[in-house]
Structure 1
Amino acid sequence: MKLTILGCYAATPRTITNPTSQLLEIKNQMFLIDCGEGTQVQLRKHKIKFDRINRVFISHLHGDHFYGLVGLISTFMLLNRVNDLHVYGPKGIKEIILLQLRASGSFTGYNLYFHELESKESEVVFEDDNVIVKTIPLKHRVYTNGYLFKEKNTQRKLDIVAIEELNIDKCYYQKIKSGGNITLDDGTIIANEELTFPPNPEKSYAFCSDTLYDESIIPIIENSDVLYHESTFLESEAHLAEKTMHSTAIQAATIAKKANVKNLVMGHYSTRYGNIEIFKEEAQTIFDNVLLADDGREFEF
């Protein structure tokens, strides 16, 4: 599971920082999470192939989280994209994007699907054989969702030594990985457990930005391998966090600890601070495994 931070600063783009956008690679799929201004430039900078992005998840309709989307959609068109593109986000995102495309006389030569969200309860928004994605309802000034991405490891791993000792043909490998038993030529039934190892543990990634401190999300994100939680302010500005419906580093760490996650990645820093290391120092008074997001930073889990 690989996470690339394209941008992780709050409010406005600057020459040295970018607003929120992330790329999550999980089970050989790439998911774009939020799309602030400059996202496509960051994608190019990190040599990420545009045609591998088929699903975009937008948390909420504040500009620093989606103003880069219409530009990215237009660039896909100019590059003669043929793959379908699915956009998940709050109700209203379809109207906003289509209005801009119509006003500029633009169009897409590929299918563009919008999945508009309204529920205030957690719901599954995407699922295939490898990954399931559900919303994490957040508390912010406008309707906002985080997203929980979780692997689906249904296939067991082959014990090649055991299989070769029994001279089992390769044509049965897929059946074995799917959990099936094997019957030998003499009628002996070999249990699947004798031919395989258990599948790898399912990895999960919880994205939470922007939000007030809210313990109601804990049952949804509990035991996640990685939690990204906004930490716009330090504790000295906790009053601003409450006023603007954001979180502090201490609050992000508290959620991580109570949810028993393995790793906490923090971001969405206010640009009032000159040194983001202070966020880590504050958070580690509560939770040990703290990582700092920064533009261009990559994490592998």
Structure 2
Amino acid sequence: MKMVNFAEFGGPDVLRLIDAEKPHAGPGRVRIAVRAAGVNPVDWRIREGQVIGAHPTTLPAGLGLDAAGVVDQVGEGVTGIAVGDRVFGEGGNTYAEFAVLTAWARMPEGLSFEEAAGYPSVVETALRVIRQVGVRPGQTLLVSGAAGGVGSAVLQIARVRGIAVIGTASAANQDYLRGLGATATTYGEGWVERVRRLGRVDAALDLAGSGVIRELVELTGDPGRVVSIADLGAPELGVRFSGTAGSVPQALAEAARLITRGDLHIPVAKSYPLSEAAAAHADSQAGHTRGRRVIIP
């Protein structure tokens, strides 16, 4: 099979397309023929060697956590799923034609593989940081970098839960944020005052890692009311960095429920073939994404 891997830490140019043996589904696992793999910021952080503590990496290594596809091998002890079922979930080395998943759920009706691949890590992260930041119905959550995949999920989940959201994004994404139920404003010079004019901020999330932790603490008045998934220096300012996943099966079940009810939709910004994984990483690192990027084997 074809898969993407890297033999040294570095920029997107270290990624290469190779031939490899198909992985096998061990106990409690399933193997899928990958139809689409989600591109997450953690993927390029792993490629650069930024998060070795959380994601130990032995080189050469593959990449990719999220995928959607068709089950073609079921491991020992797995029940409720069969060869031929369409699933989405998390596993390892999903930038490949075949991958093993450690957590999965059946794809909701009407969802494409490209769309489904964009949900697993994004929804798990959104549910986790909303819980960790402690925001409650009736309160206001500020989301810095709100137009990407996690931001798109946070805005929609917050809306369902009765939490008001102020979202910052580029000028081009203001209408997108409003369409997801947020009060939108741009980042850049003067953004703190623009947020102040919009009202009280009870809690804040840093999803873009754009150096705004001090300002988020200032706006909330308490570093304990701020959570970052993108700024590794956040703990130096007393802010929690959230980088360890919670229950992925529960998150997938919640994602399927929200999608089926029409309460959650994350658009696919762009799809790339396996051979263009480096371009997908470069675009992801550049930011300004509306929704998700996916790789198609």
TM-score (normalizing by structure 2): 0.28
Query: Highest CA radius of gyration, 1 or 2?
Result: 1
TM-score (norm 1): 0.28
